[in-house]
Amino acid sequence: MGPPGAGKGTQAKGLVDRYGWVQLSTGDLFRMHTAKGTEVGVKVKAILARGELVPDEMTVAMVRARLREIPQGTRIVFDGFPRTVAQAEALDRLLAEFDRRVESAILLDVTRDEILARLLKRAADQGRVDDTPEVIGKRFDVYEVQTKPVLDFYEKRGQLRRVNGVGTVEAIATRLAEAAN
């Protein structure tokens, strides 16, 4: 968990490389659908470009389809999901279908200034359509209003762990691995 630009994708990939866990990034999946021009891709393209959230139902259906492909016994790092309380509730039901459960929700804690600097750098490096200053602002707002309540959801269950998300990629990866184990 964490605001846009907190390093969720980078760190999830790091956990995959280090431990052989599987990353399930809804943002990556949506971008893949968009690039391939699938039915889902056509529906979500404009939503992503505006920095808004894709409807829960479509997101959860996509996650279910991806879960079917992941072998039992493999640890999954969700990245960018759940982003609403409804998604978090759906995730519990979904995982039960696959005889799985949430172990913990890890928040990458990063200051707003640090994030803005990172996102503008990513915009220059990667050219993501949703990394313009305007859309970045929108994504922050969406995070504040729709995703922050998800932190409370896991905090109430005693599953929220906070990790300092400022430092080198390696230092943060080590902190994360400690929090995840």
CA 87 – CA 77 distance, rounded (Å):
16
Least Å distance, CB 52 to ligand AMP, is 6
Asked about 157 being catalytic, the answer comes back as no
Least Å distance, CB 3 to ligand AMP, is 10
Residue 8: strand, helix, or coil: helix
Which residue, 7 or 27, has its beta carbon nearer to ligand AMP? 27
Burial 119-129 (b: 16+ CB within 10 A, else e): beebbeeeeee
Least Å distance, CB 81 to ligand AMP, is 4
Residue 139: how many CB atoms within 10 A of its CB?
A: 21
Tokens of residue 167, six digits: 């430092």
Asked about 93 being catalytic, the answer comes back as no
Q: Which residue in the list 66, 118, 128, 138 is annotated as catalytic?
A: 128
Q: Which residue in the list 13, 43, 75, 122 is annotated as catalytic?
A: 122
CA 97 – CA 128 distance, rounded (Å):
34
Which residue, 11 or 59, has its beta carbon nearer to ligand AMP? 59
Asked about 128 being catalytic, the answer comes back as yes
Asked about 8 being catalytic, the answer comes back as yes
Q: Which residue in the list 31, 100, 139, 161 is annotated as catalytic?
A: 139
Alpha helices for the chain (secondary structure H): 8-19, 26-36, 39-50, 56-67, 85-97, 112-126, 133-142, 148-156, 169-180
Q: Which residue in the list 83, 100, 161, 175 is annotated as catalytic?
A: 83
Least Å distance, CB 171 to ligand AMP, is 23
CB-count burial class (<10 Å; 0-12, 13-18, 19+) for 177: middle
Which residue, 98 or 178, has its beta carbon nearer to ligand AMP? 98
Residues making contact with ligand AMP (CB under 6 A): 4, 26-27, 30, 47-48, 51-54, 59, 80-81, 83, 87, 130, 139
Asked about 45 being catalytic, the answer comes back as no
The residues assigned a catalytic role are 8, 83, 122, 128, 139
